[in-house]
Chain A
Protein backbone atom coordinates (compact mmCIF):
# COMPACT_ATOMS: atom_id res chain seq x y z
CA UNK A 1 0.00 0.00 0.00
CA UNK A 2 1.46 3.34 -1.02
CA UNK A 3 1.25 6.53 0.99
CA UNK A 4 -0.66 9.34 -0.70
CA UNK A 5 1.70 12.01 -2.01
CA UNK A 6 1.86 15.28 -0.10
CA UNK A 7 -0.22 17.97 -1.74
CA UNK A 8 2.95 19.80 -2.79
CA UNK A 9 4.27 16.79 -4.72
CA UNK A 10 0.97 16.13 -6.48
CA UNK A 11 0.89 19.68 -7.86
CA UNK A 12 4.60 20.43 -7.94
CA UNK A 13 3.98 23.69 -6.06
CA UNK A 14 3.84 25.01 -2.52
CA UNK A 15 1.46 22.92 -0.40
CA UNK A 16 -2.00 24.01 0.67
CA UNK A 17 -2.06 24.86 4.35
CA UNK A 18 -4.88 22.84 5.88
CA UNK A 19 -5.19 25.30 8.77
CA UNK A 20 -5.81 28.18 6.38
CA UNK A 21 -7.71 26.21 3.73
CA UNK A 22 -11.06 26.30 5.60
CA UNK A 23 -13.13 29.06 3.93
CA UNK A 24 -13.74 31.20 7.02
CA UNK A 25 -10.13 30.93 8.18
CA UNK A 26 -8.92 31.82 4.67
CA UNK A 27 -11.08 34.98 4.75
CA UNK A 28 -9.82 35.84 8.25
CA UNK A 29 -6.21 35.49 7.05
CA UNK A 30 -6.86 37.48 3.85
CA UNK A 31 -8.46 40.27 5.91
CA UNK A 32 -5.71 40.36 8.54
CA UNK A 33 -2.89 40.06 6.00
CA UNK A 34 -3.90 43.42 4.55
CA UNK A 35 -3.54 45.26 7.87
CA UNK A 36 -1.76 45.30 11.22
CA UNK A 37 -4.74 44.37 13.37
CA UNK A 38 -8.53 44.24 13.43
CA UNK A 39 -11.11 44.31 16.17
CA UNK A 40 -13.00 41.07 16.90
CA UNK A 41 -16.42 42.52 16.00
CA UNK A 42 -15.11 43.74 12.62
CA UNK A 43 -13.98 40.20 11.75
CA UNK A 44 -17.28 38.77 12.97
CA UNK A 45 -19.30 41.20 10.83
CA UNK A 46 -17.09 40.57 7.79
CA UNK A 47 -17.67 36.82 8.06
CA UNK A 48 -21.32 37.12 9.11
CA UNK A 49 -20.92 34.50 11.84
CA UNK A 50 -21.62 34.24 15.57
CA UNK A 51 -19.00 35.19 18.17
CA UNK A 52 -18.55 31.53 19.12
CA UNK A 53 -17.84 30.49 15.52
CA UNK A 54 -15.21 33.19 15.09
CA UNK A 55 -13.67 32.31 18.45
CA UNK A 56 -13.25 28.68 17.36
CA UNK A 57 -11.55 29.68 14.11
CA UNK A 58 -9.27 32.11 15.94
CA UNK A 59 -8.36 29.39 18.44
CA UNK A 60 -7.29 27.13 15.56
CA UNK A 61 -5.18 29.91 14.07
CA UNK A 62 -3.70 30.75 17.49
CA UNK A 63 -2.85 27.11 18.19
CA UNK A 64 -1.04 26.94 14.85
CA UNK A 65 0.91 30.07 15.81
CA UNK A 66 -0.68 32.01 12.93
CA UNK A 67 -2.69 34.61 14.88
CA UNK A 68 -2.28 36.56 18.09
CA UNK A 69 -4.97 38.11 20.22
CA UNK A 70 -4.59 41.19 22.42
CA UNK A 71 -6.97 42.83 24.85
CA UNK A 72 -5.54 46.29 25.49
CA UNK A 73 -6.89 47.89 28.62
CA UNK A 74 -8.01 51.49 28.64
CA UNK A 75 -11.12 53.59 28.90
CA UNK A 76 -14.46 51.84 28.36
CA UNK A 77 -15.16 48.26 27.36
CA UNK A 78 -12.17 46.04 26.69
CA UNK A 79 -12.03 45.09 23.02
CA UNK A 80 -10.22 42.15 21.49
CA UNK A 81 -7.75 42.89 18.69
CA UNK A 82 -6.50 40.19 16.36
CA UNK A 83 -3.44 40.16 14.12
CA UNK A 84 -1.50 37.66 12.03
CA UNK A 85 1.87 36.61 13.39
CA UNK A 86 4.93 36.63 11.07
CA UNK A 87 4.52 32.84 10.79
CA UNK A 88 0.86 33.35 9.88
CA UNK A 89 1.75 35.87 7.18
CA UNK A 90 4.31 33.47 5.70
CA UNK A 91 1.87 30.54 5.78
CA UNK A 92 -0.84 32.66 4.17
CA UNK A 93 1.54 33.83 1.43
CA UNK A 94 2.51 30.21 0.71
CA UNK A 95 -1.15 29.18 0.59
CA UNK A 96 -2.04 31.96 -1.85
CA UNK A 97 0.96 31.03 -4.02
CA UNK A 98 -0.30 27.44 -4.13
CA UNK A 99 -3.80 28.61 -5.07
CA UNK A 100 -2.44 30.82 -7.85
CA UNK A 101 -0.23 28.04 -9.18
CA UNK A 102 -3.19 25.69 -9.28
CA UNK A 103 -5.49 28.28 -10.83
CA UNK A 104 -2.96 29.31 -13.48
CA UNK A 105 -2.46 25.64 -14.32
Chain B
Protein backbone atom coordinates (compact mmCIF):
# COMPACT_ATOMS: atom_id res chain seq x y z
CA UNK B 1 0.00 0.00 0.00
CA UNK B 2 1.40 3.38 -1.00
CA UNK B 3 0.59 6.12 1.48
CA UNK B 4 0.92 9.82 0.79
CA UNK B 5 2.29 12.18 3.40
CA UNK B 6 1.37 15.66 4.60
CA UNK B 7 4.20 16.84 6.88
CA UNK B 8 3.20 19.23 9.68
CA UNK B 9 6.58 19.99 11.21
CA UNK B 10 9.23 21.61 9.02
CA UNK B 11 11.13 24.88 8.99
CA UNK B 12 12.99 26.43 6.08
CA UNK B 13 15.77 28.99 5.82
CA UNK B 14 19.31 29.41 7.04
CA UNK B 15 20.27 29.17 10.69
CA UNK B 16 22.56 31.97 11.81
CA UNK B 17 24.82 29.35 13.44
CA UNK B 18 24.48 26.17 11.42
CA UNK B 19 27.03 23.91 13.13
CA UNK B 20 25.64 20.73 11.60
CA UNK B 21 24.99 22.03 8.09
CA UNK B 22 21.25 21.35 8.15
CA UNK B 23 19.77 24.61 6.77
CA UNK B 24 17.57 24.18 3.72
CA UNK B 25 15.92 26.38 1.11
CA UNK B 26 12.31 25.93 0.06
CA UNK B 27 13.42 24.64 -3.34
CA UNK B 28 15.74 22.05 -1.77
CA UNK B 29 12.90 21.03 0.52
CA UNK B 30 10.51 20.48 -2.36
CA UNK B 31 13.08 18.37 -4.21
CA UNK B 32 13.50 16.18 -1.12
CA UNK B 33 9.72 15.93 -0.65
CA UNK B 34 9.29 14.75 -4.23
CA UNK B 35 11.93 12.04 -3.74
CA UNK B 36 10.02 10.67 -0.76
CA UNK B 37 6.41 11.02 -1.93
CA UNK B 38 5.60 13.79 0.55
CA UNK B 39 2.79 15.66 -1.14
CA UNK B 40 2.41 18.69 1.10
CA UNK B 41 4.04 20.32 4.08
CA UNK B 42 3.27 22.98 6.65
CA UNK B 43 6.35 25.12 7.20
CA UNK B 44 7.56 28.23 9.00
CA UNK B 45 10.63 30.25 8.14
CA UNK B 46 13.40 30.13 10.72
CA UNK B 47 13.63 33.94 10.64
CA UNK B 48 10.17 34.05 12.25
CA UNK B 49 11.85 32.53 15.31
CA UNK B 50 15.44 33.77 15.13
CA UNK B 51 15.14 37.24 13.56
CA UNK B 52 11.70 38.74 14.23
CA UNK B 53 8.18 37.41 13.67
CA UNK B 54 6.99 40.40 11.65
CA UNK B 55 9.97 40.19 9.31
CA UNK B 56 9.90 36.40 9.17
CA UNK B 57 6.16 36.18 8.49
CA UNK B 58 6.64 38.27 5.34
CA UNK B 59 9.58 36.11 4.26
CA UNK B 60 7.46 33.00 4.75
CA UNK B 61 4.51 34.31 2.78
CA UNK B 62 6.77 35.20 -0.13
CA UNK B 63 8.58 31.85 0.00
CA UNK B 64 5.46 29.71 -0.18
CA UNK B 65 3.40 31.91 -2.50
CA UNK B 66 4.52 30.14 -5.71
CA UNK B 67 4.94 26.67 -4.22
CA UNK B 68 1.69 24.70 -4.22
CA UNK B 69 3.10 21.97 -1.98
CA UNK B 70 3.84 24.34 0.90
CA UNK B 71 1.50 25.85 3.49
CA UNK B 72 2.54 28.30 6.19
CA UNK B 73 2.09 29.16 9.84
CA UNK B 74 2.57 32.70 11.17
CA UNK B 75 4.38 33.61 14.37
CA UNK B 76 2.65 35.95 16.80
CA UNK B 77 3.87 38.43 19.43
CA UNK B 78 1.83 40.26 22.09
CA UNK B 79 -0.24 42.89 20.25
CA UNK B 80 0.28 45.49 22.95
CA UNK B 81 3.74 46.32 21.55
CA UNK B 82 2.33 46.72 18.03
CA UNK B 83 5.22 44.86 16.38
CA UNK B 84 2.99 42.60 14.29
CA UNK B 85 1.30 44.43 11.41
CA UNK B 86 -2.48 44.04 11.46
CA UNK B 87 -2.62 43.47 7.68
CA UNK B 88 -0.75 40.21 8.10
CA UNK B 89 -4.13 38.68 9.04
CA UNK B 90 -5.81 39.71 5.79
CA UNK B 91 -6.43 37.14 3.04
CA UNK B 92 -4.98 34.27 5.09
CA UNK B 93 -6.58 31.62 2.88
CA UNK B 94 -5.06 33.13 -0.26
CA UNK B 95 -1.71 33.30 1.48
CA UNK B 96 -2.05 29.57 2.37
CA UNK B 97 -1.73 30.27 6.09
CA UNK B 98 -3.12 27.32 8.04
CA UNK B 99 -2.16 28.12 11.62
CA UNK B 100 0.00 30.02 14.07
CA UNK B 101 2.90 29.42 16.40
CA UNK B 102 4.42 31.16 19.41
CA UNK B 103 7.94 31.28 20.82
CA UNK B 104 7.37 32.97 24.20
CA UNK B 105 10.57 31.67 25.80
CA UNK B 106 12.68 32.97 22.90
CA UNK B 107 10.72 36.19 22.33
CA UNK B 108 10.35 36.98 26.04
CA UNK B 109 6.68 37.24 26.97
CA UNK B 110 4.02 35.18 28.73
CA UNK B 111 1.64 33.19 26.56
CA UNK B 112 -1.57 33.26 28.58
CA UNK B 113 -5.03 34.74 28.92
CA UNK B 114 -3.70 38.11 30.16
CA UNK B 115 -1.53 38.65 27.09
CA UNK B 116 -3.62 36.98 24.37
CA UNK B 117 -7.09 36.40 25.84
CA UNK B 118 -9.26 37.74 23.03
CA UNK B 119 -6.95 36.60 20.28
CA UNK B 120 -6.77 32.99 21.47
CA UNK B 121 -10.57 33.00 21.88
CA UNK B 122 -10.82 33.96 18.21
CA UNK B 123 -8.50 31.09 17.29
CA UNK B 124 -10.83 28.74 19.09
CA UNK B 125 -13.90 30.10 17.30
CA UNK B 126 -12.26 30.17 13.86
CA UNK B 127 -10.67 26.76 14.45
CA UNK B 128 -7.13 27.77 13.54
CA UNK B 129 -4.62 25.25 14.84
CA UNK B 130 -1.78 26.47 17.02
CA UNK B 131 1.54 24.63 16.67
CA UNK B 132 3.57 24.32 19.86
CA UNK B 133 7.23 23.26 19.69
CA UNK B 134 7.95 21.55 23.01
CA UNK B 135 11.52 20.26 22.67
CA UNK B 136 13.28 23.38 21.43
CA UNK B 137 12.85 25.25 24.71
CA UNK B 138 11.86 28.34 22.71
CA UNK B 139 8.10 27.85 22.84
CA UNK B 140 6.24 26.30 25.79
CA UNK B 141 6.77 23.44 28.21
CA UNK B 142 4.13 20.97 29.34
CA UNK B 143 3.29 23.00 32.45
CA UNK B 144 2.61 26.04 30.25
CA UNK B 145 0.42 23.93 27.97
CA UNK B 146 -1.64 22.56 30.82
CA UNK B 147 -2.28 26.14 31.94
CA UNK B 148 -3.16 27.44 28.44
CA UNK B 149 -5.59 24.58 27.88
CA UNK B 150 -7.32 25.23 31.21
CA UNK B 151 -8.19 28.70 29.89
CA UNK B 152 -8.82 27.69 26.27
CA UNK B 153 -10.07 24.10 26.39
CA UNK B 154 -11.33 24.07 22.80
CA UNK B 155 -8.13 25.43 21.27
CA UNK B 156 -6.84 23.25 18.44
CA UNK B 157 -3.29 22.47 19.58
CA UNK B 158 -0.77 20.51 17.56
CA UNK B 159 2.05 19.52 19.89
CA UNK B 160 5.27 19.24 17.90
CA UNK B 161 8.70 17.86 18.88
CA UNK B 162 7.19 16.21 21.95
CA UNK B 163 10.46 15.29 23.64
CA UNK B 164 13.22 12.71 23.29
CA UNK B 165 12.14 10.39 26.09
CA UNK B 166 8.69 8.82 25.79
CA UNK B 167 6.27 11.65 26.68
CA UNK B 168 3.06 9.67 27.21
CA UNK B 169 2.94 10.67 30.87
CA UNK B 170 2.70 14.32 29.74
CA UNK B 171 0.57 13.99 26.63
CA UNK B 172 -1.98 11.31 27.45
CA UNK B 173 -3.71 13.39 30.19
CA UNK B 174 -4.09 16.16 27.58
CA UNK B 175 -5.53 13.73 25.02
CA UNK B 176 -7.92 12.49 27.67
CA UNK B 177 -9.18 15.93 28.76
CA UNK B 178 -9.02 18.08 25.61
CA UNK B 179 -10.62 16.87 22.39
CA UNK B 180 -8.71 19.28 20.15
CA UNK B 181 -5.21 18.32 21.22
CA UNK B 182 -3.16 16.51 18.54
CA UNK B 183 0.31 14.98 18.69
CA UNK B 184 2.79 15.48 15.86
CA UNK B 185 4.34 12.10 15.12
CA UNK B 186 8.11 12.57 14.68
CA UNK B 187 9.22 11.98 18.25
CA UNK B 188 6.35 9.61 18.99
CA UNK B 189 7.89 7.51 16.23
CA UNK B 190 11.28 7.73 17.92
CA UNK B 191 9.95 6.26 21.19
CA UNK B 192 9.52 2.51 20.94
CA UNK B 193 5.82 1.58 20.96
CA UNK B 194 4.54 5.12 21.47
CA UNK B 195 2.61 5.34 18.18
CA UNK B 196 1.01 1.94 18.67
CA UNK B 197 0.04 2.47 22.30
CA UNK B 198 -1.30 5.99 21.72
CA UNK B 199 -3.44 4.75 18.84
CA UNK B 200 -4.68 1.85 20.96
CA UNK B 201 -5.70 4.14 23.80
CA UNK B 202 -6.87 7.34 22.07
CA UNK B 203 -7.33 6.40 18.41
CA UNK B 204 -5.48 7.45 15.29
CA UNK B 205 -7.53 10.65 14.91
CA UNK B 206 -5.29 12.38 17.46
CA UNK B 207 -1.93 12.07 15.67
CA UNK B 208 -0.65 14.04 12.66
CA UNK B 209 2.43 13.12 10.66
CA UNK B 210 5.58 15.22 11.04
CA UNK B 211 9.29 14.77 10.46
CA UNK B 212 11.00 17.62 12.29
CA UNK B 213 13.02 18.23 9.11
CA UNK B 214 15.62 19.68 8.68
CA UNK B 215 16.69 18.96 12.26
CA UNK B 216 15.70 15.31 11.90
CA UNK B 217 15.40 12.88 8.99
CA UNK B 218 12.23 12.43 6.90
CA UNK B 219 13.18 8.80 6.37
CA UNK B 220 13.14 8.04 10.11
CA UNK B 221 9.54 9.14 10.60
CA UNK B 222 8.34 7.59 7.35
CA UNK B 223 9.90 4.16 7.94
CA UNK B 224 8.56 3.93 11.48
CA UNK B 225 4.97 4.87 10.58
CA UNK B 226 4.87 2.62 7.51
CA UNK B 227 5.98 -0.40 9.56
CA UNK B 228 4.16 0.39 12.79
CA UNK B 229 1.73 -2.17 14.19
CA UNK B 230 -1.43 -0.20 13.36
CA UNK B 231 -3.97 -0.64 10.57
CA UNK B 232 -3.62 0.88 7.10
CA UNK B 233 -6.65 3.02 7.85
CA UNK B 234 -4.90 4.38 10.97
CA UNK B 235 -1.75 5.08 8.94
CA UNK B 236 -3.72 7.06 6.35
CA UNK B 237 -5.35 9.16 9.04
CA UNK B 238 -2.01 9.93 10.66
CA UNK B 239 -0.09 10.51 7.44
CA UNK B 240 -2.47 13.03 5.83
CA UNK B 241 -6.19 12.70 6.51
CA UNK B 242 -6.20 14.19 10.01
CA UNK B 243 -4.32 17.34 9.06
CA UNK B 244 -6.45 17.78 5.94
CA UNK B 245 -9.55 17.56 8.14
CA UNK B 246 -8.16 20.15 10.55
CA UNK B 247 -7.29 22.56 7.73
CA UNK B 248 -10.64 22.12 6.00
CA UNK B 249 -12.33 23.08 9.27
CA UNK B 250 -10.67 26.51 9.48
CA UNK B 251 -13.21 29.38 9.28
CA UNK B 252 -11.30 31.98 7.29
CA UNK B 253 -14.15 34.52 7.14
Q: Do A and B come from one complex?
A: no
